[in-house]
Structure 1
Amino acid sequence: MTDVVIDELIPPDSLVGPGGDEFRELIEMRNLVETDTLGTDALAATPESIFPHFTSSSQKSRRHFVVRDGGRIIARGLMGWLTAENAPAVSIMADVLPSHRRRGIGSALFAYQERLAADLGRHVLQAEAIHTSSVGGERVVPSTGFGDVPANDPGVQFLLHHGYRLEQVARISSLDLTNTAASLEEHRRAAQEKAGADYRIVHWSGRTPEKWLEQKAALSTAMSVDEPSGGLEVIADVWDADRVREHDDRQEGSGRIIYTSAAEHVPTGTLVAHTELGRLEGDNQPAVQEDTLVLRAHRGHRLGMLLKAVNAQKMLEQAPDTPQITTFNVEENEPMLRVNIDLGFRPIGAEGVWQKRV
Structure 2
Amino acid sequence: MKQPPPTDPNTTARANAALISLVRNSELNGIISSMRYMENSFNSKFNYPWVFFNDVPFTQEFMDKTQAETNAPCTYELIPKEHWDVPDWIDQTRMEKAFKEMANNGVMHATQLSYHKMCRWYSGFFFRHPALDKYKYYWRVEPNVKYFCDIDYDVFQFMAQNNKTYGFTINIYDDPKSIPTLWPATTAFVEERPNYALSPDENSYYWLTDSVLRPDHTKAANGYSTCHFWSNFEIGDLDFWRSQTYLDYFDYLDQTGNFFYERWGDAPVHSVALGLFAANEQIHWFRDIGYQHSVFSNCPNSDKCHGCQANKLTPLTYWLNGEDCRVNWFKQVCESSRNKGPVNEEMCGLHGYGWSGR
TM > 0.5 fold call: no
Tell me which protein shows more helix as a share of its residues.
2
Q: TM-score range by the shorter chain?
A: under 0.3
TM-score under structure 2 length normalisation:
0.26
- Greater fraction of residues in strand: 1
